[in-house]
């Protein structure tokens, strides 16, 4: 079975089933690929506790921050076409981000600033080093309040503002940076800006650009910003950490086109759809004869761009992610394993905070995905449950070569 033990793979399914039976998650879908072939799909538990609707391999999940790598790849297609340059100042298309000023202190007064030493570049957005984002700073509450719907309503951002992309970017442009461009890594905001950049460069709505550049070429027919009525019976219920329902198919916030399509967190997808994206990255930008990225661009995406100082700095307040960069690096919209272990060195990933994760391991020529519908089971890119480790160790333990 492509180098896997059938018994070992059965144990992976048993582990997922046990989590569902104990009620630690409602359900799960997992898929494992090796050498370009599907080895196993496992389903466990239910997509809806109230009705008992079983989990299926084509169940739809809100993939939250797993949107970010897709947005990144769409932007990189523009780099490959010569319509964007990595060193280009983004203010050419995003004048709201021109003439930046920078806080003297992360938690200092908003008028205690110095001029930015240089403009924000495209690569700053791709590497989350524009000088603004979720994490340690006095601006964190304001940036969190700018979380776009439907993700904001699903996770209960009480003071979230409903803004169009242009209104949102004007609000961000009114804020100082917390650090000079290129000097610190901060989360999320860069991907939402990147989505607006893609839209302005292409002259298309973000969903159209993503669909034409990434989703349709890869055959990702179930991935998008909305769930049409015809697919609602496949959408999982989203549960909070206490088991409460945060979003359900009949009244889903993903049922209508978002006011601001979030390049950082807005998409819905399936395990097998996202596997095609992960396999494309594992293939150096190509899948089944369809090239999405030039090999050199895909290699740059998968390279660690963090400096030693950025590896040493915790981006979030304790206790979240204090050792995030100890054994990981960050490329363009994805992290990669930098030390030996499980997964292997070079493995690409980036999870979603509503319970979804994927891993693309070039050393083992392996893609593994685990989707559950539990908010906050993954925080600051780390599983807050042993489920993630149990799954990965089970997959790697089943390998025979």
The pLDDT tens digits for 74-103 are: 999 999 999 999 999 999 999 999 999 999
Residue 1 has pLDDT above 80, yes or no: no
- Average of per-residue pLDDT across 379-391: 96
Residues 253-262, mean pLDDT to the nearest whole number: 97
| pLDDT band at 43; cut points 50, 70, 90 | very high
User: What value does the mean pLDDT of the chain take?
Assistant: 97
What per-residue confidence (pLDDT) applies to 159?
Answer: 87
Domains, the chain, ordered by start = 6-67+206-397 (3.40.710.10), 73-202 (3.40.710.10)
pLDDT at site 156: 87
This prediction has a pTM of 0.98
Percent share of the chain, pLDDT over 70: 100
List, for residues 114-130, the tens digit of each pLDDT value. Answer: 999 999 999 999 999 99
Q: pLDDT for 131-170, tens place per residue?
A: 999 999 999 999 999 999 999 998 889 889 999 999 999 9
Whether the pLDDT of residue 34 is over 80: the answer is yes
Give me the mean pLDDT over the 206-230 stretch: 98
Is the pLDDT at 207 greater than 80, yes or no?
A: yes
Task: Report the pLDDT value the prediction gives residue 155, as an integer from 0 to 100.
Answer: 86
What per-residue confidence (pLDDT) applies to 158? 84
Phi then psi for residue 326, to 5 deg, are -65, -40
What's the rounded mean pLDDT across residues 367-374? 98
User: Cβ(147)–Cβ(136) under 8 Å?
Assistant: no
pLDDT at res. 232 = 98
């Amino acid at each position: 079975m492509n180098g896997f033990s059938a018994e070992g793979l059965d144990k992976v399914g048993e582990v997922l089933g046990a989590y569902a039976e104990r009620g630690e998650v409602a359900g799960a879908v997992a898929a494992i690929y090796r050498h370009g072939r599907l080895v196993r799909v496992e389903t466990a538990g239910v997509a809806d506790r109230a009705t008992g609707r079983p989990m299926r391999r084509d169940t739809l999940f809100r993939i939250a921050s797993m949107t970010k790598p897709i947005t990144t790849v769409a932007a990189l297609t523009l780099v490959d076409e010569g319509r964007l340059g990595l060193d280009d100042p983004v203010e050419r298309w995003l004048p709201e981000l021109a003439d930046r000023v920078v806080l003297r202190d992360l938690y200092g007064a908003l008028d205690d600033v110095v001029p930015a030493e240089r403009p924000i570049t495209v690569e700053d957005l791709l590497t989350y080093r524009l000088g603004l984002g979720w994490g340690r700073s006095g601006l964190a509450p304001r940036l969190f309040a700018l979380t776009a719907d439907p993700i904001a309503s699903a996770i209960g951002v009480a003071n979230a503002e409903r803004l169009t992309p242009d209104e949102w970017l004007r609000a961000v442009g009114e804020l100082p940076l917390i650090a000079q461009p290129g000097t610190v890594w901060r989360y999320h905001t860069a991907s939402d800006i990147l989505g607006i950049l893609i839209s302005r460069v292409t002259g298309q709505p973000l969903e159209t650009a993503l669909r034409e550049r990434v989703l349709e070429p890869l055959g990702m027919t179930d991935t998008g910003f909305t769930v049409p009525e015809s697919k609602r019976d496949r959408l999982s219920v989203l549960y909070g950490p206490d088991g409460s329902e945060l979003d359900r198919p009949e009244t889903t916030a993903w049922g209508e086109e978002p006011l601001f399509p979030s390049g950082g967190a807005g998409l819905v997808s399936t395990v097998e759809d996202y596997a095609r994206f992960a396999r494309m990255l594992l293939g150096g930008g190509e899948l089944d004869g369809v090239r999405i990225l030039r090999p050199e661009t895909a290699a740059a995406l998968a390279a660690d761009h963090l400096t030693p100082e950025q590896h040493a700095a915790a981006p979030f307040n304790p206790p979240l992610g204090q050792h995030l960069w100890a054994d990981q690096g960050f490329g363009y919209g994805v992290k990669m394993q930098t030390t030996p272990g499980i997964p292997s060195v070079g493995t690409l990933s980036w999870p979603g905070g509503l319970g979804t994760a994927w891993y693309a391991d070039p050393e083992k020529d392996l893609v593994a995905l685990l989707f559950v519908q539990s908010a906050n089971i993954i925080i600051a890119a780390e599983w807050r449950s042993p489920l993630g480790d149990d799954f990965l160790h089970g997959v790697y333990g089943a390998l025979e070569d």
